[in-house]
Amino acid sequence: MNRIENKTFENQHVVLDDGVFINCQFKNCSLEYSGGDVYVQNCQGEGCQLVWRGAAQRTVFLLQGLGLMAPPPAPEASGAPSRVQ
C-alpha cells in the first residue's frame, strides 16, 4: 500500500484504493474508490466528489436499492423547457 502523510491534494483526481492517507487534506478533488484496501486517518475533505467504481459502485447500488443510502439528487434543469411552435 502507498503511504501518504501530511499532504494537501487540491483540484486533483485521487485514487484511494491501495492507499494509506494520514493527516491529509482534500480540496475540490474527485476521490475515486473501487472497493480495494484503503486506510484514512485524521483527513479532511472540502468540496470533493466521490466517484464509485467496480465493487464499490455495486455496493452503493445495493445500499440504495435497500433504502439504506439515498440516491444522488437529480441534476437541475438548465432554463425553461423548450417548446415547438
Provide mean pLDDT across the span 51-57: 96
Strand 38-41 relative to strand 19-22: parallel, antiparallel, unpaired?
Answer: parallel
Residue 75, in any domain of the structure: no
Residue at 71 is within a domain: no
Domain for residue 79, yes or no? no
pLDDT at position 72, please? Answer: 79
Structural domain of residue 35, as residue ranges? 2-65
pTM of the model: 0.80
Please indicate, yes or no, if residue 43 is contained in any of the structural domains: yes
Identify the band that residue 85 occupies on the pLDDT scale cut at 50, 70 and 90: very low
Does residue 2 register a pLDDT over 60?
yes
Q: Is residue 21 part of a domain?
A: yes
Residue 83: inside a domain, yes or no?
Answer: no
In a domain, 58, yes or no: yes
| Cell numbers found for residue 20 | 494509506
User: Count of domains in the chain?
Assistant: 1
